[in-house]
Amino acid sequence: MIKYNDSKTEVMLVYSKHVGVEPAPYFLTVGDADIRPVSTVRSLGVILDSHLTMDAQVRSACKKAFYHLRRISQIRKFLTESALTQLIHAFVITQLDYCNSLLVGLPKSSPDRLQRVQNAAARLIKGAKKCDPISPILLDLHWLPIAFRIDFKITLLTYCCLHCLAPRYLSSLLRLPVSSRLACDRLISMKSRTNTYGCRSFKTYAPQLWNSLPQNVRIASSLAQFRSRLKTHLITVAFRDVIDQRARRERKRL
Tens-place pLDDT, residues 151-180: 999 999 999 999 888 899 888 888 888 776
Confidence band for 117, pLDDT divided at 50, 70 and 90 = very high
pTM for the whole structure: 0.85
pLDDT of 201 above 80 = yes
Burial class (CB in 10 A: 0-12, 13-18, 19+), 114: buried
* 51-55, 83-87, 89-93, 193-197: the lowest-pLDDT one: 193-197
Tens-place pLDDT, residues 65-78: 999 999 999 999 99
pLDDT of 54 above 90 = no
pLDDT of 85 above 60 = yes
Cα separations in angstroms, 250 against 196, 238, 244: 45, 20, 10
Structure-model confidence comparison of residues 147 and 13, the more confident one: 147
In this prediction, residues 8-36 reach a mean pLDDT of 75
In this prediction, residues 136-156 reach a mean pLDDT of 94
pLDDT of 41 above 80 = yes
Structure-model confidence comparison of residues 176 and 59, the more confident one: 59
Confidence band for 144, pLDDT divided at 50, 70 and 90 = very high
Confidence band for 195, pLDDT divided at 50, 70 and 90 = low
- Average per-residue pLDDT for the chain: 87
Q: Give domain limits for the chain.
A: 6-48, 52-135, 149-237
In this prediction, residues 7-20 reach a mean pLDDT of 76
Structure-model confidence comparison of residues 15 and 238, the more confident one: 238
DSSP string, the chain: -----GGG--B-----TTSSSPPPP--EEETTEEEPB-SEEEETTEEEETT---HHHHHHHHHHHHHHHHHHHTTGGGS-HHHHHHHHIIIIIHHHHTTGGGGTT--THHHHHHHHHHHHHHHHHHT--TTS-SHHHHHHHTPPPHHHHHHHHHHHHHHHHHTT-S-HHHHTT----TT---TTSPPPPPP-S-TTTGGGSHHHHHHHHHHHS-HHHHT-SSHHHHHHHHHHHHHHHHTHHHHHHHHHHHHHH-
What is the Cα–Cα distance from 95 to 58, expressed in whole angstroms? 10
What is the Cα–Cα distance from 169 to 154, expressed in whole angstroms? 15
Confidence band for 45, pLDDT divided at 50, 70 and 90 = confident
- Residues β-bridged to residue 48: 41
Confidence band for 202, pLDDT divided at 50, 70 and 90 = confident
